[in-house]
Amino acid sequence: MNFRRFGLMFLSVLILTAGSLRADEGMWMLPLIQKLNSKTMSGMGFKLSAKDIYDINNSSLKDAILHFGGGCTAEIISKDALVLTNHHCGFGTIQKLSTVDHDYLQNGYFAKNRDEELPAKGLTVIFLDRIEDVTKAVTDAMDAAKDPKAKEEAFRTVSDQLTAKAVGDSKFLRARVSSFFGDNQYYMVVSKTYSDIRFVGAPPASIGKFGGETDNWMWPRHTGDFSMFRIYADKDNNPAEYSKDNVPYKPKKFLTISLKGVNQNDPAMIIGYPGRTNRFMTSYEVKETSEVSNAVTILVRGVRQGIIWADMEADPKVRLQYSSKYAGSANSWKKSLGMNETFAKLKVYERRAAEEKIFSEWVVANPTRAEKYGKALADVKAAIEGRAKLQYISRFYMEALSSIELTSAATRLGPQVERAPREGRGGPGGAGAAGGRGFFQMNPSDFYKDYNVATDIKVAKALIKLFRDKVPASDLPNFYKTIDTNFAGNVDAYVDNMFSTSVFTSEEKLKAAQAGDKKLMESDPALVAGRDISASFMKYSMELEKYRTQYASGQKLYIAGMLEMKAGQAIYPDANSTMRMTYGRILNYSPKDGVIYDYITTLDGVMQKENPKNYEFTVPAKLKELYEAKDFGQYAMKDGRMPVAFLSNNDITGGNSGSPVMNAKGELIGTAFDGNWESMSSDIIFEPLLQRTISVDIRYTLFIMDKFGGAGYLLNEMKLVK
C-alpha cells in the first residue's frame, strides 16, 4: 500500500474534526499546571504529572530548558550539556565568530571534538530555579502608597526586599519581580545564569535559513533551523567566566530524544520563554498597532532593507556583516505585514469591539461593578487617542533616524553626557511607554567588524529624506536646520560631508581622536546629529509618559474586570519572557476553501524548491548526494522519506524560538521555530482553526548533524528512543 496516498485520503476528514482537537489555548505558568491543566492534559493523552514538568525539589523538565541569549529558548539534549536551539537564535553569535575566510554562516561548522568548540563571548543561558507568587506582598505595599509616583517607589522597595531574601548569600542566583495580568498579580522569578557557552555546530545557511525571507512565516516549510552549543562550568558545576579549565556542565535534567516521529493528532507540548503577547488588547490598541506601529515599521524597514539587501548581494563581506542585522529587521517587517493582513481578514478590530461591548454591559448591570470598572475602557481610549501624534512621531524616530548606524554609534562611542534618571521607569509591569535610547557604551571592535560605511551612507540618505517627508516640519530635529542652512536643503550633500569628516567612520580614526584632544570630538557632525536625534526622541518619549499612568490604570481595571467576569474559567496571563507551557496536538490545517496543508514536510520539498540562481533556495551538493542515495540512516520515516518540519496547534510567540516540542512522555520530537502566515494576529487573538507552530523535526536535525555535518560522535552523549 502507498502510505503517502493512504494518509492523504484522510486529511479532509481529519481537518473537519479540528474543532474537537484544538489546543487548550494559552501560555500557562508552570507552578499552576496541577490546578489548571493536568486534567485536560491527561484527557488528551499526556503521560506526565505536573511535578514531571515543574518541581523545585527534584529534577523536572524545567531544568532542561533555558532562556537562550535573552531572546530565545533552548534545551539541553545530553548528559554533557549539549544545547539545541534554532539557527536564527544562534545566528548573531555564529556571525561574530565568522570571517570572510571562515564563514560559518555560509559554510556551516561542526566541531569534531571538544577542543574545536568555539567560545561564544557575550552569550548567556539562564536556568529557572523557581517561581513564587508574591502578589499579596507587592499589592499591600503599593496600596499603602498615595499617588502613582509613590506606588512605583513602593514597588521598587518591596521588590528589592523580596529578591534579596530569595537570593540570600548565593553568588549565583538572581531574582526579579514581574507583573502579570496587567499589574493585577505579581510573581518572583529566581534564576541562575551561565556565561561560558561554546559553539558546537550549525548547518550552512543554505540549510539553516533555507527559504530565507521568502518562506519566513510560511507553510509548507523546509528549513533546518537549528544550531548547537555547550554549557561549561567550574569544577563545582557553578557558573564561571570562560576558562580553559572549565568543564561541561552536568545538568539536573536533559531531554530524551524520540526517533519515533510524529503523526496527525499526536499530543505535543512546548515549554519555553514566549516574549510578549497582548491577548487583552482593546480595539483602540488594535487600531493604533495597525495604523501606526505596523504601518511605520513596514514603510521604513522596507526602504532600509532594500538598500542593505542590494549591498549584501553585491559583496560577500557585506553579506557577512549585515546578515544578522537584515534577518532581525526583516523578521519584524514581515510580521507587521502579516499582522495587518490578518487584522483585516479576521476582523480583529470588530471582534475586540464586540468583546468590549459585552464587558461594558456586564459592568453597568451592577452598581458595584460600575463604580469599580466603569472608567476602565474610557481611560484606555483617552490615553490611546491622546498619545496618537506622539506615538506616530516616536515610531518614526525609532525606525528611521535611530537606524542610522554612524550617528547611533557616535552617541555610544563618543564622550558621554550625564543624564538624570528618568522618572516613571521600572515600576509595576516594567513601566514605560516608548523607552528612550540607551546611552550605553559599545565595544568599538564589535561594531566596526560588522559595519560598512558605503551601506550606511545610502541608508542615512534614504531615511533622513523619508523622515522629512513623513514627519511635520515642527517636529524635525535640529540637524535639519543645518541641512537647510549649510547645504541648501540637500540631504545627500549633508550626509556626504558628515561621513567624510566624522571620526566615527572607522576604528582607526576613532582611536586617533581619543588619543588627542577629546573636546574636538564634541563638534563631530555624527556626534552632533546623534545627540540631536537622541534628545528629540527622548523629548517625545517623556511626553508619552503623561499618558502612561492613565493607560496603565485603565488597562489594569479592564483586565481585573475581565478576570472577574470570567471567574471559574482557566485563564492565562500574557507572555512576558517568563517560562510557560503550551500543549496541543500535531495537526494539519486548511488556510482557505478547497486547500488542506499536510502536517509534515520532507526533503522532497527541499529539492522541489531548489533554485541555484536564488540565494535563498540553493541546496548544498552534499545534501543532494545524500538525497539521491536515500542515505537517511535511522532518521527516515517508515515510507523511506526524510522528514524536515511539522505542524502543531501549540500557542507560541516570539521568544519561543528554539523551544523543545515534546511528545506525550516529554521526549523531544522537534524544535519550534516559527508561526504561520494565516494567524499573524495571534499575539492578540488565538485562532484555533488556523494557528500553527512550525517546528524542525528532530530527525532532520540529527540527520544533518550526523550524515551531513559529520558530527555523529555527539550521538554518544544523547539518549535516543527509537
Query: In whole angstroms, what is the distance from residue 268 CA to residue 584 CA?
Result: 5
- Is residue 571 assigned to a domain? no
The whole-number pLDDT of residue 689 equals 94
Query: In whole angstroms, what is the distance from residue 62 CA to residue 60 CA?
Result: 5
The whole-number pLDDT of residue 429 equals 37
Which of 33, 104, 709, 677 lies closest to 335, judged by CA? 677
Query: In whole angstroms, what is the distance from residue 680 CA to residue 331 CA?
Result: 12
Q: Are residues 537 and 610 in the same domain?
A: no
Residue 19 scores a pLDDT above 90 = no
Q: Please identify, among 151, 173, 194, the residue that sits at the C-terminal boundary of a domain.
A: 194
pLDDT digits (tens, 9 = 90+) for 404-445: 999 999 999 998 765 544 433 333 333 322 333 334 467 899
- Is residue 134 assigned to a domain? yes
Query: In whole angstroms, what is the distance from residue 163 CA to residue 328 CA?
Result: 33
Residue 222 annotated as catalytic: no
Query: In whole angstroms, what is the distance from residue 262 CA to residue 265 CA?
Result: 9
Query: In whole angstroms, what is the distance from residue 699 CA to residue 96 CA?
Result: 28
Q: Are residues 464 and 364 in the same domain?
A: yes
- Is residue 572 assigned to a domain? no
Annotated catalytic residue within 394, 657, 679, 682: 657
**DSSP symbol at 677:** G
**CB crowding 448-460: b at 16 or more within 10 Å, else e:** bebbbeebbbbbb
Query: In whole angstroms, what is the distance from residue 697 CA to residue 669 CA?
Result: 6
Segment 481-501 mean pLDDT: 98
Whether 643 and 637 have beta carbons less than 8 Å apart is answered as yes
> Sign of dihedral through CA atoms 257, 258, 259, 262?
negative
pLDDT digits (tens, 9 = 90+) for 207-229: 999 999 999 999 999 999 999 99
Q: Mention every residue, 6+ apart, whose C-beta is less than 8 A from residue 146.
A: none
The whole-number pLDDT of residue 11 equals 37
C-alpha cell of 591?
488556510
Q: Please identify, among 166, 194, 222, the residue that sits at the C-terminal boundary of a domain.
A: 194
Q: Are residues 488 and 502 in the same domain?
A: yes
Annotated catalytic residue within 88, 258, 323, 336: 88
**CB crowding 237-252: b at 16 or more within 10 Å, else e:** eebbeeeeebbbbebe
The whole-number pLDDT of residue 516 equals 87
Q: Are residues 420 and 355 in the same domain?
A: yes
Q: Are residues 239 and 103 in the same domain?
A: yes
Whether 701 and 201 have beta carbons less than 8 Å apart is answered as no
Residue 704 — pLDDT band, cuts 50, 70, 90? very high
Instruction: Output the pTM of the full model.
Output: 0.91
Annotated catalytic residue within 225, 311, 524, 674: 225
Which of left, alpha, beta for 568 (phi over 0: left; psi -120 to 50: alpha)?
Answer: left
Whether 445 and 507 have beta carbons less than 8 Å apart is answered as yes
- Is residue 407 assigned to a domain? yes
Q: Are residues 83 and 144 in the same domain?
A: no
C-alpha cell of 124?
548567556
Query: In whole angstroms, what is the distance from residue 460 CA to residue 304 CA?
Result: 9
Query: In sequence order, what E strands does 298-348 have?
Result: none
**CB crowding 168-181: b at 16 or more within 10 Å, else e:** eeeeebebebbbbb
The whole-number pLDDT of residue 443 equals 87
**pLDDT > 70 fraction of the chain, expressed in percent and rounded:** 93
Q: Report in angstroms the alpha-carbon separations of 669 from 601, 603, 630.
A: 14, 17, 22
C-alpha cell of 688?
484555533
Pairing of strands 720-721, 257-258: parallel
For residue 21, count CB atoms less than 10 angstroms from its CB and return exposed for 0-12, middle for 13-18, buried for 19 or more: middle
Q: Please identify, among 169, 194, 219, the residue that sits at the C-terminal boundary of a domain.
A: 194
The whole-number pLDDT of residue 157 equals 97
Query: In whole angstroms, what is the distance from residue 707 CA to residue 636 CA?
Result: 12
pLDDT digits (tens, 9 = 90+) for 216-274: 999 999 999 999 999 999 999 999 999 999 999 999 999 999 999 999 999 999 999 99
Q: Residue 660, preceding bond cis, omega within 30 degrees?
A: no
Q: Are residues 347 and 305 in the same domain?
A: yes
Whether 180 and 171 have beta carbons less than 8 Å apart is answered as no
Chain-wide mean pLDDT for the chain? 92
C-alpha cell of 704?
544533518
Residue 225 annotated as catalytic: yes
**DSSP symbol at 577:** S
Q: Are residues 143 and 155 in the same domain?
A: yes
Beta bridge partners of 597: 589
- Is residue 117 assigned to a domain? yes
Residue 88 annotated as catalytic: yes
Q: Are residues 261 and 294 in the same domain?
A: no
- Is residue 335 assigned to a domain? yes
Beta bridge partners of 197: 231
Query: In whole angstroms, what is the distance from residue 397 CA to residue 559 CA?
Result: 31
Residue 683 scores a pLDDT above 50 = yes
Q: What is the DSSP string of 100-116?
A: SSS-HHHH-EE-SSGGG
Range of the domain at 119: 3-124+195-273+579-721
pLDDT digits (tens, 9 = 90+) for 585-625: 999 999 999 999 999 999 999 999 999 999 999 999 999 99
Q: Are residues 140 and 219 in the same domain?
A: no
Query: In whole angstroms, what is the distance from residue 317 CA to residue 308 CA?
Result: 12
Which of 606, 631, 630, 644 lies closest to 712, judged by CA? 631
Q: Say what the alpha-carbon torsion angle 347, 353, 359, 360 is, to the nearest 10 degrees.
A: -160
Residue 24 — pLDDT band, cuts 50, 70, 90? low
CATH number at residue 632: 2.40.10.120
Beta bridge partners of 595: 592
> Sign of dihedral through CA atoms 437, 438, 439, 445?
negative
Which of 606, 601, 589, 584 lies closest to 646, judged by CA? 601
pLDDT digits (tens, 9 = 90+) for 46-85: 999 999 999 999 999 999 999 999 999 999 999 999 999 9
Which of 64, 682, 72, 622 lies closest to 339, judged by CA? 682
The whole-number pLDDT of residue 18 equals 37
Number of folded domains that form the chain: 3
Q: Are residues 452 and 590 in the same domain?
A: no
The whole-number pLDDT of residue 512 equals 93
Q: Are residues 175 and 215 in the same domain?
A: no
pLDDT digits (tens, 9 = 90+) for 158-214: 999 999 999 999 999 999 999 999 999 999 999 999 999 999 999 999 999 999 999
Residue 278 — pLDDT band, cuts 50, 70, 90? very high
**CB crowding 121-132: b at 16 or more within 10 Å, else e:** eebbbbbbbbbb
Beta bridge partners of 581: 28, 271
